[in-house]
């Protein structure tokens, strides 16, 4: 890589501050919420983004659109847009993937202004608004890095592809899952995939693995009776409580530790509880609760399912009830190797551009990285952020966008 060229690009990125703010303002002003949140999808936001990019010098031939049909939104589709800039080596691509959709703002009384209008504090560099961090920070970083290369007439070392996805907040069925099922050929086995949708305030962690996720809805059916006659019924609530404790005890059964994660062990936590009876003097015959399981990758979901079924049978026999299980969510994926090309390249970029020594980590949450890994594509999740996504007064810092854009530019050019 020509160091002089990189310094020119790095300085150009710093000079694009006004464009960063402009793009954040455009994106934030369009509430790209999923139908599940009462929204109209991402089409309007995607069109505004494409218009911005065309105005900045990219041309129509560099865009590819992969629309997934969805009759619930007015456009009829959920858009997935790819911007490609060819590199010297056209046989390999660096991907930067970000999602267009956002979550609702929630309680408006907890916001100090309109969630859909960017507020920028010049002194601190803080940008506030719904979506500015999740995932517009990563989106804008990728755009800024590539825009700087174009403005300085620098050809990247290989192809650069910016993917703007739909539907990340509600399972990615219309986003990355759709692309992998219907258009897997767009990804190359040697491509480097970076997803700037998670990280830490220093920008030093690179997420390479996720715990397997299993969300269970547990429906216990007993026999309702009067509170004074418990012997005439079968207390579904009591049986449910016993089962919740027994399922939580699986943390002691699946007891391996992995320091890549925090916490470094598998968790089985009872969470949501549905109401059962209306008054205190009724023994409930039905009870419903939920369990959130986050399992280290060393255990398969089938192994966990078998243990759950065994413990359910114990409760059914002890209390004379029937237990039905429904999987609300189930996801498992292999890890990206800490020695994979994408991790090594990103780690070197962080060290070269900002003197940051990268640290591979695993997380308990789910990202689109898991979907890619299941198809055999290594993916690294990374960004410099405070992780305030989904919160009131969501924010990011413009200096982090600039910093991450410079890191990405190094990856594009090296």
Residues involved in catalysis: 101, 168
Q: Is omega for the bond preceding 305 within 30 degrees of 0, making it cis?
A: no
Q: What is the distance between the alpha carbons of residues 395 and 137, in angstroms, rounded to a whole number? A: 9
Question: Residue 78, SS3?
Answer: strand
Question: Residue 412, SS3?
Answer: helix
CA dihedral 311, 312, 318, 324 (to 10 degrees): 170
- Residue 349's alpha-carbon distances to 163, 196, 356, in angstroms, are 21, 14, 9
Token pair, residue 365, equals 């949450």
Pairing of strands 89-99, 77-78: unpaired
Q: What is the distance between the alpha carbons of residues 116 and 100, in angstroms, rounded to a whole number? A: 14
CB 397 within 8 A of CB 126: yes
Q: What is the distance between the alpha carbons of residues 145 and 140, in angstroms, rounded to a whole number? A: 8
Q: What is the distance between the alpha carbons of residues 135 and 195, in angstroms, rounded to a whole number? A: 10
Q: In this structure, what DSSP letter does residue 54 have?
A: H
CA dihedral 187, 189, 190, 195 (to 10 degrees): 50
Q: What is the distance between the alpha carbons of residues 256 and 287, in angstroms, rounded to a whole number? A: 32
Q: In this structure, what DSSP letter does residue 159 have?
A: E
């Amino acid at each position: 890589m020509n160091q002089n060229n990189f310094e020119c690009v790095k300085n150009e990125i710093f000079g694009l501050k006004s464009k960063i703010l402009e793009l954040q303002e455009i994106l934030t002003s369009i509430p790209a919420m999923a139908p599940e949140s009462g929204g109209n999808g991402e089409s309007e936001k995607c069109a505004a983004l494409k218009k911005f990019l065309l105005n900045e010098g990219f041309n129509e031939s560099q865009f590819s659109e992969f629309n997934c049909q969805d009759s619930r939104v007015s456009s009829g589709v959920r858009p997935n847009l790819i911007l490609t800039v060819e590199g010297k080596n056209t046989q390999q691509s660096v991907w930067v993937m970000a999602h267009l959709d956002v979550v609702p703002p929630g309680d408006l009384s907890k916001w100090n202004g309109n969630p859909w209008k960017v507020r920028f504090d010049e002194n601190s560099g803080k940008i506030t608004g719904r979506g500015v961090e999740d995932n517009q920070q990563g989106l804008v970083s990728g755009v800024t890095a590539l825009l700087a290369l174009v403005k300085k007439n620098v050809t990247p070392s290989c192809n650069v592809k910016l993917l703007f996805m739909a539907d990340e907040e509600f399972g990615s069925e219309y986003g990355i899952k759709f692309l992998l099922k219907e258009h897997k050929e767009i990804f190359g086995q040697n491509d480097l995939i970076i997803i700037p949708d998670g990280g830490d305030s220093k920008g030093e962690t690179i997420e390479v693995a996720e715990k397997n996720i299993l969300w269970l809805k547990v429906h216990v059916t007993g026999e309702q009776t009067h509170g004074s006659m418990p012997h005439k019924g079968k207390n579904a609530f009591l049986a449910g409580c016993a089962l919740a404790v027994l399922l939580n005890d699986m943390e002691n059964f699946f007891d391996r530790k992995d320091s890549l994660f925090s916490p470094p062990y598998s968790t089985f936590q009872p969470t949501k509880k549905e109401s059962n009876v209306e008054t205190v003097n009724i023994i409930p015959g039905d009870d419903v609760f939920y369990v959130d399981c986050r399992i280290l990758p060393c255990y398969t979901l089938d192994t966990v399912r078998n243990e759950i079924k065994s413990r359910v049978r114990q409760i059914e026999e002890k209390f004379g009830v029937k237990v039905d299980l429904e999987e609300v969510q189930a996801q498992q994926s292999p890890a990206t190797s800490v020695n994979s090309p994408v991790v090594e390249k990103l780690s070197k970029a962080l060290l070269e551009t900002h003197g940051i020594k990268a640290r591979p980590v695993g997380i308990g949450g789910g990202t689109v990285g898991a979907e890619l890994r299941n198809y055999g594509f290594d993916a690294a999740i990374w960004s410099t952020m405070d992780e305030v996504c989904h919160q009131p007064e969501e924010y990011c810092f413009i200096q982090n966008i600039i910093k991450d854009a410079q890191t990405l530019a190094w990856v594009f050019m090296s």
